[in-house]
Amino acid sequence: MKLTLGPVLFYWSRSHLLQFYADMIEQPLQTIYLGETVCSKRRALSLDDWLGLARELRQQREVEVVLSGLALVEAASELSALKRLCDNGELMVEANDMGAVQLLAERQQPFVAGPALNLYNAHSLRELQQCGMQRWVPPVECSGRLLQDCLQQLDDLQVPRPEVELFAYGHMPLAYSARCFTARAENRPKDDCQFCCQNFAEGLLMESQEGEPLFTLNGIQTMSAKVCDLLPDYPALQAGGVDRLRLSPRAEDMALVIARYAAVCGGAQPPASSEGCNGYWYGQPGMINVQEVSS
Amino acid sequence: MKLVCPAGSLPALKAAVNEGADAIYVGFRDDTNARHFNGLNLDDRQLDEALQLIRQRGRQLYIAVNTYAQPQGWERWQRAVDRAADLGVDALIAADPGVLAYATQQHPDLNLHLSVQGSATNAQALAFYQQRYNIRRAVLPRVLSLAQVRQVAQSSSVPLEVFAFGSLCIMAEGRCHLSSYVTGESPNLCGVCSPAKAVRWQQEEDGLSSRLGGVLIDRYRRDEPAGYPTLCKGRFVVDGQRYHALEEPTSLNTLDLLPELQRIGVCAVKIEGRQRSPAYVQQVTRVWRQALDNLHAGRDGSEQAGTWQQALARLSEGSQTTLGAYHRSWQ
């Protein structure tokens, strides 16, 4: 299976991002997604900067670069920015909103359907394939069974399967809101957020009153507090029709994570249990670790 | 502006009709609709009776088939669409592109509304559903500011329906997996958020605790009113502070925004609450009917506004209401 680096979901500074990608281009990754998917106020890098970075990365090594679009597109300015992204003329785009699907279909540009799109059956997948979808990143709550059923249903409909990229590692994006929860936690209005999410390289932990880690606040996005890790399930993913594994950037130790996944892709024995949670893959609550629960 | 009211049962539907709802939306008794709770929704016999009443009284019936279809059981969604078409309902409310495509192909005359679960928050997303499925109306998620609603209305030819009153969903609908993360069941796939079977109440030494899927959602002192343990309305700890980190238990109430919604050109206002009692539906519909009649007659309504607001406050979560995302400062 191929390894993919998802877009950075947190707000990192320009220097942090550039250093991160300088490190990442050394890693055994086949695809790198660039761009801002969470909040349009985060502008450490402009579209031109992202395109420039993409060219640099591709000069250094043969790697596919995809530009990811915003998930929650509300303001007219956000829609204009999305149009510019879809008009970039160089790179494939990951659509995370139906607005992006519409823009890309109008331009007859092939695209990746990101995890924020609600595609749960072959009839819907066929609809998006008609719009130009090449690759499908299923919603994070999609189970292995549901994925299998979708692929079988595509076969039954005699529709070619898209390439499947599964969210395999990282804090899972779970919800999007108009409200900025990081600004709220800092007692700031969203309109005067002072970019406070830049203070939290891996989001802000939200725990229950009993100290159980529950969610990660990341601006307008709510993520899992636990880190999804499907490495022990590698054989099932491979057998289940997954072509690519998406590793979602974290602030520390990504090189180590990639090395673990690359080793298993290269034939090493997968670990016996997940270092994070993997419930969704088994059709269980996303927060549980199935091997832990059953042992 | 039309008044669209919820009905999770035949008595609720009758109450909405009697109090002057222009349209009533209901769901079938399965996971094809996003309010799939035990004992809720209408069976075939009740639907026939509902339709008869609605036709007699010159109102409209909408059917919500607004969860996302899964390959296993795809036929259920097909049947739901066919049944709605056979009934001759005034609109089918759907979100799934596959379901919308099926409805368009099999029943080209069926009037389609994009469900709030479709999560369309901008003109291009609306264009997608309009061009491909000929939707005649779209329900906007509760995440847009009033200025953004105006902007979307100006740049799209799809007539818009917005939420007026009821539980406040603070996440973009159709884009929230919080419930499945904790309970395994999601609004998109199962038609439930924070399912009742995952809820546990426990009287403890220091008060009452509410849990969802084992996770402590809130703990109440003896004198505190307790709310349903929804993940986005609990009290949690962030950076050492215990508070409603996402949202307080409160209801959306846009009564004060009605004149502006009319100026924007919004075609319908929607009351949330298919899970609510007939008495609730009756009281909410009565207030909103009066407010809309008042508005349409060009009266300012300031004399009754206090009474209406009091009535709505009594029906709200925690007796609190908010303008939610419509008001920028909330965000």
Instruction: Supply the pLDDT for residue B118.
Output: 97
State the amino acid at position A244 in one-letter form: R
Q: Which of the residue ranges A245-259, B116-130, B196-210 would you say has the lowest mean pLDDT?
A: B196-210
As a whole number, mean pLDDT of residues B279-283 equals: 96
- Is the pLDDT at B250 greater than 90? The verdict is no
User: Does the distance separating the beta carbons of A184 and B177 come in below 8 Å?
Assistant: no
Whether A125 contacts A146, CB under 8 Å: no
Q: Answer yes or no: is pLDDT of B32 > 80.
A: yes
Selection from B125, B115, B118, B177 nearest residue B148 by Cα: B125
pLDDT given for residue A274 in this prediction: 87
- Smallest CA–CA distance, residue A76 to chain B, in Å, is 7
| Chosen from B177, B185, B322 to mutate, greatest number of chain A CBs within 10 A | B177
The tokens for B193 are 């958020």
- Whether the per-residue pLDDT at B38 is higher than 80: the answer is no
Q: How many CB pairs under 8 A join A and B?
A: 222
Contacts 24+ apart (CB under 8 A), A54-57: A54/A90, A54/A91, A57/A21, A57/A25, A57/A32
Q: CA B301, CA B281: separation in Å to the nearest integer?
A: 22
* Contacts for A24 with CB less than 8 Å, ≥ 6 apart: A5, A32, A254
Secondary structure class of B109 (helix, strand, coil): coil
**A127 → closest Cβ in B101, B172, B216:** B101
Q: Buried b vs exposed e over B287-325: b needs ≥16 C-beta within 10 Å?
A: bbbbbbebbeeeeebeeeeeebbeebeebbbeeebbbbb
Helix (H) or strand (E) holding B155: helix B146-155
Instruction: Give the pLDDT confidence score for residue B281 in this predicted structure.
Output: 96
Task: Please list every residue in chain B whose beta carbon sits closer than 8 Å to the beta carbon of residue A211.
Answer: 237
Return the pLDDT at B165: 95
d(CA A82, nearest CA chain B) in Å: 10
Give per-residue pLDDT as tens, B3-13: 999 999 999 99
The C-alpha atoms of residue B137 and residue B125 are separated, in whole angstroms, by 13
Number of continuous H segments (helices) and E segments (strands) in chain A = 10, 11
Residue type, B152: V
| Closest listed residue to residue B136, CA positions, set B105, B97, B92 | B92
- Indicate if the pLDDT at residue B236 is higher than 80: yes
More confident of the two residues B327 and B112: B112
For residue A179, the chain B residue with the least C-alpha distance is: B331
The pTM (predicted TM-score) of the whole model is 0.96
Q: How far is CA A39 from the centre of its chain?
A: 14
* CA separation for the pair B144, B155 (Å, rounded): 15
CB atoms within 10 A of CB A196: 18
- Give B-chain residues touching A210 at CB under 8 angstroms: 216
Give the residue from A136, A212, A222 with the most B CB atoms within 10 Å of its CB, the best one to mutate.
A222
How far apart CA B57 and CA B44 sit, in angstroms, is 20
Does the distance separating the beta carbons of B175 and A175 come in below 8 Å? Answer: yes
pLDDT band at residue B216 under the 50/70/90 scheme: very high
Q: Which whole number is the average pLDDT over B104-120? A: 97
Which residues of chain A lie closer than 8 angstroms to B120, CB-CB?
A: 98-99
Residue showing tokens 């035949």:
B10
Confidence of residue B200 (pLDDT cuts 50, 70, 90): very high
Nearest CB among B68, B122, B329 relative to A189 is that of B329
Residue B104, C-beta contacts closer than 8 angstroms, at least 6 positions apart: B112, B132, B133, B134
Output the CA–CA distances (angstroms, integers) from residue A77 to A7, A62, A89, B183, in the order listed. 21, 34, 20, 37
Nearest by CB: A175 against B177, B189, B331? B177
Q: Are B331 and B325 in contact (CB under 8 A)?
A: yes
Contact A26, A2 (CB under 8 A): no
By the 10 Å C-beta count (0-12 exposed, 13-18 middle, 19+ buried), B8 is classed as: buried
pLDDT score for B301: 78
Answer whether residue B319 shows pLDDT above 80.
no
For A155, nearest residue in chain B (alpha carbons): B71
Contact A179 B144 (CB under 8 A): no
Is the predicted pLDDT of residue B16 greater than 80, yes or no?
yes
Question: Between these two residues, B251 and B211, which has the higher pLDDT value?
Answer: B211
Cα B237 from Cα B240, distance rounded (Å): 6
Q: Is residue B104 over pLDDT 90?
A: yes
CA atoms of B185 and B37, how far apart (whole Å): 12
Q: Please, what is the average pLDDT of chain B? A: 94
Q: Which of A103, A44, A110, A40 is nearest to A73 (CA)?
A: A40
- When pLDDT is cut at 50, 70 and 90, the band that residue B168 belongs to is confident
Sequential pLDDT tens for chain A (295 residues): 999 999 999 999 999 999 999 999 999 999 999 999 999 999 999 999 999 999 999 999 999 999 999 999 999 999 999 999 999 999 999 999 999 999 999 999 999 999 999 999 999 999 999 999 999 999 999 999 999 999 999 999 999 999 999 999 999 999 999 999 999 999 999 999 999 999 999 999 999 999 999 999 999 999 999 999 999 999 999 999 999 999 999 999 999 999 999 999 999 999 999 889 999 999 999 999 998 887 7
The pLDDT of B142-155, averaged and rounded, is 95
Taking CA–CA distances from A153, the nearest residue in chain B reads B71
Find the range with the poorest average confidence among A161-165, A242-246, B234-238, B297-301: B297-301
Q: Residues of A with CB below 8 A from B330's CB?
A: 178-179
Q: What is the pLDDT of residue B41?
A: 87
Q: How confident is the model at residue B204 (pLDDT cuts 50, 70, 90)?
A: confident
pLDDT at position B188: 93
Lowest pLDDT segment from B191-195, B237-241, B278-282 = B191-195
Of B76-85, B171-180, B260-269, B295-304, the range with the lowest mean pLDDT is: B295-304
